[in-house]
Amino acid sequence: MKEILVTSPILPDFEEFTESLREIWSTSRLTNNGPFLQRFESALADYLGVPYVSVMTNGTLPIILSLKALGITEGEVITTPYTFVATPAAVSWSGLTPVFADVEYSTGNLDAQAVEAAITPRTRAILGVHVYGVPCCDEALRRVARAHGLPIIYDAAHAFGVRENGKSILLNGDLSTLSFHATKVFNTIEGGAVVCKTKEMKQRLDALRNFGITGETTFSEAGINAKLDEVRAAYGLLNLRKVDVAIQERRAISRQYSEALKSVAGIRLMEIPEGLDYNFSHYPIYIGESYCHPALAPFAQPDKNKRDQVYDYLMAHDIHPRRYFYPLPFHAGKIASDPCENAKKISSQVLCLPIYPGLPVEILKKITSLLVP
Ligand SMILES: *Cc1c(COP(=O)(O)O)cnc(C)c1O
């Protein structure tokens, strides 16, 4: 049988995309803030309910350019170890030191108290991650940030389209970054963006993504090449039309998993907060040592925890779940005095199950029947 992966991308309508390609071919305008890029940016800002976006070529450069746009050029940035390695790596690439603070056990998001405890005279910013698209506790983090005069950046790679009480969570903090990589809820194959609140910030980010060029003969500062080309902008513009239906399908899959797994002893499910207009970007389950299943016997080894046994068990049935996030990217930064116990615990228990539009219902049933003892 074909291996079932954890995610599968949504694609724009092929005929419509061909039409867009025809338009690009007819003008030979391929990149450099072209008409498709501009249309994509304005459609994106409308869809997300935010004032400005600066679209870029992936989801890692937006973190680097956000730090740069906020003028953070030396010192430490407090961030979470419970994330994809791109988050701390972007801090390192900026010549800054990522300092890891622990997360909340319930959400996997930065814990405001741990953040406050990690602040030193060298701290310059807080970089949170909305893990699986569930928002960080912005109010608590903002209180800490304000008390210490620090900006907040959110790596919102998982939080495309998420709203809390009707308002985009991409407006939390000073700047938010997105990834449009093929594995995400919305994709431009590779791509990303910074969401910002003022025209001045948008202009600064647009200059930074284009070598710092501000005019025919003028530079604002040293920038980089982070531009998205016209082909992927056209693809993104069309793919935006697919997101709402994709999220509805994700919601239905998430409900079916939860219904089947909610009373399995030893499996904890993610809580989706009330009032959250969620995107169902992931379906994590947390497998404790109390989880028991007779079918795990062939996978049991003294040094392998229950989660890893379940991982091997599902893999043996051609289901390829992912251990997001394991191992934790401690190598990419430094741990202050905080042992990050919650992050380590969640990282040892988490398993993300396949969730994407078009996931066949018989596969979903197969996965839940494998997991229910
Ligand atoms: C995907 C992801 C990124 C990086 O995005 P790319 O587009 O692959 O560069 C950064 N942070 C998190 C949390 C991600 O999941």
Predicted confidence (pLDDT) at residue 229 exceeds the cutoff of 80: yes
180 closest CA partner among 198, 166, 159, 164 = 159
Rounded to whole angstroms, the Cα distance separating 101 from 84 reads 15
Q: Is 177 in the pocket of ligand 1 (CB under 6 A)?
A: no
Rounded to whole angstroms, the Cα distance separating 233 from 239 reads 10
Rounded to whole angstroms, the Cα distance separating 245 from 253 reads 13
What local confidence, expressed as pLDDT, does residue 2 receive?
82
pLDDT 10s digits, 269-280: 999 999 999 999
What local confidence, expressed as pLDDT, does residue 332 receive?
87
Rounded to whole angstroms, the Cα distance separating 233 from 237 reads 6
A 10 A CB-CB count for 195 gives 30
Structural tokens at position 204: 């600064």
Per mean pLDDT, which range of 119-133, 290-304, 322-336 is the poorest?
A: 322-336
Structural tokens at position 83: 């994330």
Q: Which amino acid is at 123?
A: T
Eight-class DSSP state of 351: E
Structural tokens at position 197: 């609140």
Q: Name every residue whose Cβ is closer than 8 Å to that of residue 332 and which is 6 or more positions away in sequence.
A: 85, 88, 89, 92, 98
Pocket test for ligand 1, best of 7, 55, 58, 60 (most atoms within 8 A of CB): 60
Q: How far is CA 79 from CA 21, 65, 284, 354, in A?
A: 41, 16, 21, 27
Do 51 and 197 meet the contact criterion of CB atoms below 8 Å apart?
Answer: yes
Q: Is 109 in the pocket of ligand 1 (CB under 6 A)?
A: no
Predicted confidence (pLDDT) at residue 13 exceeds the cutoff of 70: yes
**Beta-strand (E) ranges in 75-188?**
76-79, 97-100, 123-129, 152-155, 163-164, 167-168, 175-179
pLDDT 10s digits, 186-196: 999 999 999 99
Beta strands at 350-353 and 163-164: parallel, antiparallel or unpaired: unpaired
Q: Which amino acid is at 201?
A: M
The number of the ligand 1 atom at minimal distance from the alpha carbon of 183 is 1
Alpha-helical segments (H) within the chain: 14-27, 35-48, 61-69, 86-93, 112-118, 138-148, 199-208, 230-239, 243-261, 306-316, 341-349, 361-371
Rounded to whole angstroms, the Cα distance separating 293 from 250 reads 27
Exposure on the CB side of residue 111, measured as CA atoms within 13 A:
21
Rounded to whole angstroms, the Cα distance separating 95 from 68 reads 10
282 exposed, middle or buried (CB, 10 Å; 0-12, 13-18, 19+)?
buried
Interior angle at CA 308, CA 307 and CA 311, nearest 5: 90
Predicted confidence (pLDDT) at residue 31 exceeds the cutoff of 90: yes
Pocket test for ligand 1, best of 87, 131, 279 (most atoms within 8 A of CB): 87
Predicted confidence (pLDDT) at residue 337 exceeds the cutoff of 80: no
Which helix (H) or strand (E) is 100 found in, with range? strand 97-100
Q: Is 181 in the pocket of ligand 1 (CB under 6 A)?
A: yes
Q: Is 111 in the pocket of ligand 1 (CB under 6 A)?
A: no
Query: If you average pLDDT over residues 60-87, what whole number do you get?
Result: 98
Rounded to whole angstroms, the Cα distance separating 358 from 250 reads 9
Pocket test for ligand 1, best of 84, 323, 326 (most atoms within 8 A of CB): 84
What local confidence, expressed as pLDDT, does residue 366 receive?
97
For the chain, how big is the Rg over CA atoms in Å?
Answer: 21
255 closest CA partner among 349, 364, 166 = 364
Q: Name every residue whose Cβ is closer than 8 Å to that of residue 368 and which is 6 or more positions away in sequence.
A: 256, 257, 260, 261
Q: Name every residue whose Cβ is closer than 8 Å to that of residue 236 and which is 6 or more positions away in sequence.
A: 40, 44, 55, 180, 186, 187, 188, 191, 228
The number of the ligand 1 atom at minimal distance from the alpha carbon of 131 is 13
Q: Is 179 in the pocket of ligand 1 (CB under 6 A)?
A: yes
Query: If you average pLDDT over residues 18-38, what whole number do you get?
Result: 97
Q: Is 90 in the pocket of ligand 1 (CB under 6 A)?
A: no
Query: If you average pLDDT over residues 45-66, what whole number do you get?
Result: 98
Beta strands at 97-100 and 76-79: parallel, antiparallel or unpaired: parallel
What local confidence, expressed as pLDDT, does residue 1 receive?
64
Predicted confidence (pLDDT) at residue 146 exceeds the cutoff of 70: yes
Rounded to whole angstroms, the Cα distance separating 126 from 146 reads 11
Q: What is the mean pLDDT of the chain?
A: 97
Q: Is 129 in the pocket of ligand 1 (CB under 6 A)?
A: yes
Predicted confidence (pLDDT) at residue 134 exceeds the cutoff of 70: yes
What local confidence, expressed as pLDDT, does residue 333 receive?
85
